[in-house]
Amino acid sequence: MGIYLNPGNSGFEQICRGEYVDKTGLIKLVNQRIYGPDNLLCISRPRRFGKSYAAKMLCAYYDCSCDSRRLFEKKKIAGTKAYSAHLNQYNVIYLDIIGFISAARRQGISLREVPNIIVETIRDELFLLDPELPSEKSFTECLIRHAEKPNGRTFIFIIDEWDAMIREAANDKIAQKAYLNLLREWFKNSNFTSKAVAAAYMTGILPIKKDGAQSAISDFQEYSILNPGQFAEFTGFTEQEVRRLCKKKRMDFEEVKFWYDGYDFSENRSVYNPFSVSRAMAVKECHSFWRESSAAESLMTYINMDFDGMQEIISRLITGEELEIYTGSFENDFETFRSRDDILTLLIHLGYLTYKNSDHTVRIPNEEVRGEFRNILEREDVNHKWMELIRRSQKLLDDTISGNEEAVADAIGEIREEQYAPQYYNNEQSLRSVIKFAYIVTFGRYMKIEEMPSGKGIADIVFIPKRLYNLPALVVELKWNKTSGGAISQIKAKKYPEVIEDYGGEVLLVGINYDEKTKTHSCKIERI
């Protein structure tokens, strides 16, 4: 048992001691590909979405140097036909590329040497496993020689954060080329893969680059966050899994859903951030765990670029809008941006946004991530455009509270003209989008509820102030080609304010109408 060659099952055993959610169904998918034409898999996921957990699980299952039956006998994989046939039957080469990079930097070694360090490290362990191997032969030849021995075994490669060298050596093409040549030697060599490689499973953040620079891994079957296919349920926690955790830990499921749900991959599949759910269960409290990660710092860089009106787009997403984007032009790197859609696509891969394939729309998935976007609005180094947006939104809120109806109507009209094309401004739903964008300053100070059941009907938008703020509640009713006065009358007739009668503070009734003929907004405000 080594560190990188046949590392054993201790990593997965430690995971199982915690609140482990059974994801061993992933093993079944890998088993189906062993020795097949599609036995090279590349799975890209955001940080903190369980990539390393999956890698350690696969190591424990396939590693021939240990007996892992006790770890898997009560798991889902144990009920499959091929379970025993593959359990602990292979040599496993497990590489955490981030670990090699960190070690090189600590020792002051150039990243260009990382590929050589990887080979020499595994080679040393291979010769401990099989001292009879000829030392003058190449690394791949030694692996073949071992696999072809009567008592030899083929290899399963498990590479965690495979793209770390591409990301960390972004400005060093020599280092990148050396690393890609290593992968090419392993996985573009049909003689080697057919004789020595049972399967390969690689994880990373970004998909394989499209320009051919990463052709060393073009033979891999790829499953990204945009198209996870049958691997979708192993991207994070499913709703059923989260319900079971909440029941066991006596947590409010609806609150957990509000905070961590939202990564949708089909009409019937909802996926939760696994790291955040696990942390919430551990501390028995829901809040943002993203801010504990350095990954959140990168968000500011991309937004402050303000590429093609990026900041206004993010503002609209914060308010809850879903926006159509084109993901096909993204070059699968952190440097090449030709449009704001490329940046939005990157944010999908980083886990800050989620993508719905059915209608090609993007949105912020949940309250946890929305909070990270909101934090940006409060930073002192935020771009001046954001500050101007917040200033205008604050004035709109002030005018609403003071009852300045004309100023409110004018401000909403200005925002509509600046942010929304006329052809898309054609119904009450589009008016709702403008209102949410206009009142973006309420985030953090108010709880916003859309289509809130109340009295005898459903209120369009209700803003309830948080306890720390001495602000009135807002009950907003929207109309299209009617009157703002009629909106106020409906609020009263339907008794919308009844739902917040326990709030106890001042309540403002706000009616807003858009007239298509005059292309103007009107507003009525009453206090109760």
In a shared domain, residues 32 and 152:
yes
State how far the Cα of 337 lies from the Cα of 525, in Å rounded to an integer.
45
> What is the CATH classification number for the domain harbouring 320?
1.10.10
| Residue at which a domain ends, from 191, 208, 233 | 233
* Mean pLDDT of the region 69-80: 95
Domain boundary among 287, 304, 322: 287
Same domain (yes/no): 269, 355: no
- What pLDDT does 380 receive? 60
Residue 249: inside a domain, yes or no?
yes
What residue type is 331 in one-letter code?
E
- Indicate whether 103 belongs to any domain: yes
pLDDT over threshold 70, residue 291: no
Within this chain, do residues 121 and 244 fall inside the same structural domain, yes or no? Answer: no
Is pLDDT above 90 for 78? Answer: yes
- Cβ neighbours of residue 378 under 8 Å, at least 6 residues apart? 444
Looking at the structure, tell me whether residues 252 and 354 fall in a common domain.
no
54 and 152, same domain (yes or no)? yes
Owner of token pair 């909403």: 412
Do residues 228 and 257 share a domain?
A: no
Q: What is the pLDDT of residue 451?
A: 80
Tens digit of each residue's pLDDT (9 = 90 or more) over 389-410: 888 899 999 999 999 999 999 9
Q: What is the pLDDT of residue 467?
A: 78
Which tokens belong to 370? 């929305």
DSSP 96: E
Question: Whole domain around residue 352: which residue ranges?
Answer: 294-377
Going edge to edge, which strands form the sheet with 40-44?
91-96, 155-160, 197-204, 40-44, 221-223
Place 378 in a pLDDT band, splitting at 50, 70 and 90.
low
Instruction: Please tell me the total count of domains within the chain.
Output: 4
pLDDT at 454: 66
The closest alpha carbon to 458, from 442, 443, 473, 478, belongs to 478
Q: Does the pLDDT of residue 269 top 80, yes or no?
A: no
Provide, rounded to the nearest whole percent, the portion of the chain with pLDDT above 90.
Answer: 52
pLDDT digit string, tens, across residues 301-357: 777 666 777 777 888 888 888 889 999 888 887 777 888 898 899 899 988 999 988
User: 260 with 143, same domain?
Assistant: no
SS3 514: strand
**Residue 384: inside a domain:** no
Q: Strand 197-204 to strand 221-223: parallel, antiparallel, or no bridges (unpaired)?
A: unpaired
Query: What would the pLDDT profile of 453-502 be if each residue is shown by its tens digit?
Result: 766 667 788 898 887 788 899 999 999 999 999 999 998 888 877 777 77
Residues 248, 167, single domain; the answer is: no
**Domain assignment of residue 400, yes or no:** no
Give the pLDDT score at 255.
Answer: 93
Confidence label for 443 from pLDDT (cuts 50, 70 and 90): confident
Strands 155-160 and 91-96: parallel
Neighbours of 344 (CB within 10 A): 24
- Kindly report the CATH number assigned to the domain that includes residue 193: 3.40.50.300
Report pLDDT digits (tens) over 137-191: 899 999 999 999 988 899 999 999 999 998 888 888 899 889 999 998 899 888 8
pTM: 0.82
Work out whether the CA dihedral 223, 233, 277, 71 comes out positive or negative: negative
Contact assessment for residue 521 and residue 513, using Cβ atoms and an 8 Å cutoff: yes
Distance, CA of 389 to CA of 435 (rounded, Å): 14
Question: Do 446 and 504 belong to one domain?
Answer: yes
Diameter over CA atoms, the chain: 91
Residue 381: band (very low, low, confident or very high) from pLDDT cuts 50, 70, 90? low
Per the listing, tokens 């599949």 go with 269
* Integer angstrom CA distances of residue 188 from 90, 138, 191, 387: 21, 16, 9, 52
What are φ and ψ of residue 149, in 5° steps? -70, 155
Structural element, H or E, at residue 69: helix 69-72
Task: Report the percent of the chain where pLDDT is more than 70.
Answer: 91
164 touches 98 (CB < 8 A): yes
State the pLDDT confidence band at 524, using cuts at 50, 70 and 90: very high
Question: Cα(25)–Cα(32) distance, rounded to whole angstroms?
Answer: 11
The yes-or-no verdict on residue 70 having pLDDT over 70 is: yes
pLDDT at 297: 55
Angle at 27 between CA 25 and CA 29, to 5 degrees: 85
**CA–CA gap between residue 150 and residue 171 (Å, rounded):** 46
Locus of tokens 């495979």: 162
362 falls within a domain: yes
Give mean pLDDT, residues 72-91: 95
> Do 44 and 70 have their domain in common?
yes
Distance CA 435, CA 374 (A): 17
The tally of CA atoms less than 13 A away on the side-chain side of residue 419 is 25
**Burial of 32 (C-beta count, 10 Å sphere; 0-12/13-18/19+):** middle
**In a shared domain, residues 327 and 278:** no
Instruction: Calculate the alpha carbon distances from 199 to 60, 95, 343 in Å.
Output: 15, 14, 33
Q: What angle do CA 254, 449, 439 make, to 5 degrees?
A: 135
Residues 473 and 351 in one domain: no
- Cα 344 to Cα 24, 116, 293, 391: the distances in Å are 32, 36, 20, 25
Domain-located, residue 382: no
Two structure tokens written together for 2: 């080594």
Instruction: Compute CA 29 distance to the chain's CA centroid, rounded to the nearest angstrom.
Output: 22
- Between CA 502 and CA 467 the distance in angstroms is 13
pLDDT at 266: 64
d(CA 426, CA 433): 11
Tokens of 84: 């025993």
396 in any annotated domain = no
Predicted local distance difference test score (pLDDT) of residue 60: 97
Half-sphere exposure (Cβ direction) of 415: Cα atoms closer than 13 Å: 30
Q: Residue 90: which of 66, 54, 64, 72 has the closest Cα?
A: 64
- Which residue among 321, 342, 377 closes a domain? 377
